[in-house]
Amino acid sequence: MAEADFVIVGSGSAGSALAARLSEDGKHSVLVLEYGGTDMGPFIQMPAALSYPMNMKRYDWGFASEPEPHLGGRRLATPRGKVVGGSSSINGMVYVRGHARDFDHWAETGATGWSFADVLPYFKRMETWHDGGHGGDPTWRGTDGPLHVTRGPRKNPLFHAFVEAGRQAGFETTGDYNGEKQEGFGPMEQTVWKGRRWSTANAYLKPALKRDNVDLYRCLARRVVIENGRAVGVEVERGGKTEIVRARREVILSASSINTPKMLMLSGIGPAAHLAEHGIEVVADRPGVGGNLQDHLEVYIQQASTQPITLYKHWNIFGKALAGAEWLFFKTGLGASNQFESAAFVRSRPGVDYPDIQYHFLPIAVRYDGKAAAEGHGFQAHVGPMRSPSRGRISLRSADPNEPPKIVFNYMSTEEDWVDFRHCVRLTREILAQKAFDPFRGKEIQPGADIQSDDEIDGFIRDHAESAYHPCGTAKMGRASDPDAVVDPGCKVIGVEGLRVADSSIFPRITNGNLNAPSIMVGEKAADHILGRQPLAPENLEPWINPRWETSDR
């Protein structure tokens, strides 16, 4: 029978980091349960191929939302990694820690010990930062962690035009949005190392699996086994048989903000009435399980390019074969970058003290599913608000662990969402209209010059807004007295012994930017809580806050 001191469900961003840290001193055995298969394929390891794995059944759970009521009933794709490394093996490899104020907000709302001063040492511990000679903020960055963070070569002039256009529009520039100053236009960072996707499988799990005390167990985790109020193991399905994997000390769920709440509910932890509907015996009535679901939504503003310098010239069978061959043999060239090499974080209006809009800039007009715009040469800016007030919910479709959960994001459910999104569209047009883009700017492909009024822009958003694939918050961390909290600040599930959650489910509120980095940080920090170690000493570095924040958006 399989058993270990610690059983971790999920080998993703947080799970892999946990496995590595819990096994590091050799005193404890760790068993990682993973349903997905190997990550060895070129589609995963080659950064530029990122649109493939998240559309492949082999690597993706294939979730979709229910028809979204405020987006014209569209079902939005909700990819989650079903592979070693989890979503860090199929994501866009963009590296964003989040803003210091995001974590201070966590602490203020009940996640004591998770303020920015508390989490910064973990961000530093996990990364080895390579600035590539482009400037940045070494005092804020890590030098010897397992996760390599690099910058793209930024050879395409459009990457520089974007930053310059931001400056011309009156916004700040920044040399390192993961350092003191997030606000502004500047280079984007990626989890790519020596031309390969640097997932948590590569960074943490594979080195850990070389130890005698770590094992990977391929199975479908069905539910947590709870005896007398204590988690003692996990019921799994393997080769058509059901068995129990025992945990001598603790079970840790790191199964994603979609699968973790599903598993909690299947185990009897969740809203009592909802569990009763599905005939599940209630172990702990936690109404917050599955609630508080948040995500980032974005639109792609696409512009034709008058010069044939975009990636479109490689967007054919020969171009892709050539880039693929160069990557295969040398791990260099176009294949070696995710192509997100310039970024921006800005504030939407006066009175907002830190950025609430994010930009990814891409030197091609293309969709996430890899379909190129028929227009030919173009470039695009992905833009969206960072802190939507809308909240959704994950719930059970049935008591069968093989059924996907019901996902309702409830996107765009408040007036504020619409106001913020219209502003994003108009602001992007203002930036792309700056002098820096004069040598390149053709007609607007999307939304198109005829889309101008609030109603027209709303229609565009309703039809074209896409998830940035940053779901989180479905097992919120907070005070034990908070009825909506699911875990306490030690990541312990409230009301059950021997069970913790460590992944993006526990985020009380979504952080700025992409969620891979803060999810890994959660795994790093949770490991110290689980081992009963003194947390790393807080570091009181103050983030840059725009001195004009009360009077201007730039």
Question: Which residues are annotated as part of the binding site?
Answer: 5-34, 83, 91-94
In angstroms, rounded to a whole number, what is the distance separating the alpha carbons of residues 50 and 12?
A: 17
Give the pair of three-digit tokens for residue 315. Answer: 């967007």
Q: Strand pairing partners for 441? A: 305
DSSP string of 230-271, one letter each residue: EEEEEEEEETTEEEEEEEEEEEEE-SHHHHHHHHHHHTTEE-
In angstroms, rounded to a whole number, what is the distance separating the alpha carbons of residues 314 and 537?
A: 49
Give residue 417's identity as a one-letter amino acid code. Answer: D
Cα–Cα distances (Å) from 201 to 13, 37, 146, 147, 332, in that order, read 8, 12, 11, 10, 21
Residue with tokens 């800005």: 346
Strands 241-253 and 499-501: parallel
Q: Which one, of 271, 250, 259, 276, lies nearest residue 221 by Cα?
A: 259
Strands 30-34 and 214-218: parallel
> Would you call the peptide bond into 447 cis, given omega within 30 degrees of 0 as the criterion?
yes
3-state SS string over 497-519?
ECEEECCHHHCCCCCCCCCHHHH
In angstroms, rounded to a whole number, what is the distance separating the alpha carbons of residues 155 and 152?
A: 8
Q: What are phi and psi of 33, to 5 degrees?
A: -95, 125
Active site residue 470: yes
Check residue 356 and report its DSSP letter. Answer: -
In angstroms, rounded to a whole number, what is the distance separating the alpha carbons of residues 10 and 2?
A: 16
Q: Are 183 and 345 in contact (CB under 8 A)?
A: yes
Give the pair of three-digit tokens for residue 344. Answer: 């921006």
CB atoms near residue 458 (< 10 Å): 16
DSSP string of 92-150, one letter each residue: --B-----HHHHHHHHHTT-TT-SHHHHHHHHHHHEEE--TTS---GGGS-BS-SEEEE
In angstroms, rounded to a whole number, what is the distance separating the alpha carbons of residues 68 and 411?
A: 7
In angstroms, rounded to a whole number, what is the distance separating the alpha carbons of residues 139 and 180?
A: 9
- Our measurement of the distance from residue 236's CA atom to the centroid of its chain's CA atoms, rounded to an integer in Å, reads 27
Annotated binding residues for FAD, as ranges?
5-34, 83, 91-94
Q: Which of 105, 134, 470, 529 is catalytic?
A: 470
Give residue 76's identity as a one-letter amino acid code. Answer: L
Q: What residues are labeled active site?
A: 470
